[in-house]
Amino acid sequence: MLNHRSVILFWQLAILVLLLLVWQWGFEWSKALLPKAYVPKILDPYFVAKPSLIWQSFLRLGCLNDPGEFLTCVQSTDNNLWTATLVTLKNTWWGFLFGSTTGVIVGLVLGRSDFLSGVFGPYIIAFNSIPRIALVPLVILIFGLGDWSKVATAWLVVFFVVFFNTFEGARAVDRDQIAAARLMGAKEFTILRTVVIPSALAWVFASLLPAVSFALIGVIVGEFIGAERGLGKLIIEAEGRANASEMMVAIFIMMFVGILLALVVRSLQSYLLRWQPQFERSE
């Protein structure tokens, strides 16, 4: 009997190798083998670059061509790959953190108060109906081209996602659990701390994973529209030079940034929600 996991791993690697092969040489192979009209344009390295070119661009943008010159190279170029990555990562993280904290706080407050949710409900729905991206130029006008406008953009996207989930979570708390806590002597604040928040946490976390990728999207869009540094800025610069391989470098780095952030949230989630069956440690 074949080991299930190794079979899956085999196919995963096989597909990866195939993709890389086609990407690297597919265009030349099809040019050599097929009539001109049938050569797929999508494989043209001018549009999609190719692995070897991407690797070279990575080395150049990352100041890795000459290990001895790494420091001087990083210091001399303003938006090199590493500063760009750090800037984007940092802004995403802060935007995510501010957005989710404020979303949780406002969600809990409105979720526990019928009066406040009644008053603010229409405003929140109206504001949420604005496509957030439409606000980015305004945000840049207010906060400038620096990091704060990116944090604010990420905040805009993250806040509502987290707010709505926390709000629902705070509403969905089991009334009997609250009654039980009250009958054991818990006062309002204790109930909030020991029943409402833990109970709503599952809902909060359900929104945090999408929220972290939204934060990254927000930051990148902000960088597209106006920025001095960052991975989004790197893409815009490469677009100006019609350099697909540099864009690809930035895209891949973004992918890793996204994975990294998701992993952080995921591990926090599986610790805080370890009482839920899906996060049970397999022992």
In angstroms, rounded to a whole number, what is the distance separating the alpha carbons of residues 102 and 45? 45
CB of 213 to another protein, least distance (A): 26
Q: Which of residues 141-180 bind another protein (CB under 8 A)?
A: 174, 176-177, 179-180
By the 8 A CB rule, do 83 and 198 touch?
no
Round the CA-based radius of gyration of the chain to a whole number and report it: 24
CB of 272 to another protein, least distance (A): 9
CB of 111 to another protein, least distance (A): 18
Q: Which amino acid is at 131?
A: P
- Is residue 181 near another protein by the rule CB under 8 A? yes
CB of 104 to another protein, least distance (A): 16
- Is residue 114 near another protein by the rule CB under 8 A? no
Alpha helices in the chain (DSSP H): 4-33, 45-48, 51-61, 70-76, 81-112, 114-129, 136-143, 147-171, 175-183, 188-191, 197-225, 231-240, 244-272
Number of residues that bind another protein (CB under 8 A): 22
Stretch that binds another protein, among 16-24, 119-127, 182-190, 238-246 (CB under 8 A): 182-190
Q: How many CB atoms lie within 10 A of CB 121?
A: 12
- Is residue 278 near another protein by the rule CB under 8 A? no
Site string for another protein, 196-235 (x = CB under 8 A): --xx-x----------------------------------
Which residue in the set 185, 271, 281, 283 belongs to the binding site for another protein (CB under 8 A)? 185
Please, what's the b/e burial string for 95-116 (b: 16 or more CB within 10 A of its CB; e: otherwise)?
bbbbbbeebbebbbbbbbeeee
Residues forming the site for another protein (CB under 8 A) = 174, 176-177, 179-186, 190, 194-195, 198-199, 201, 273-277
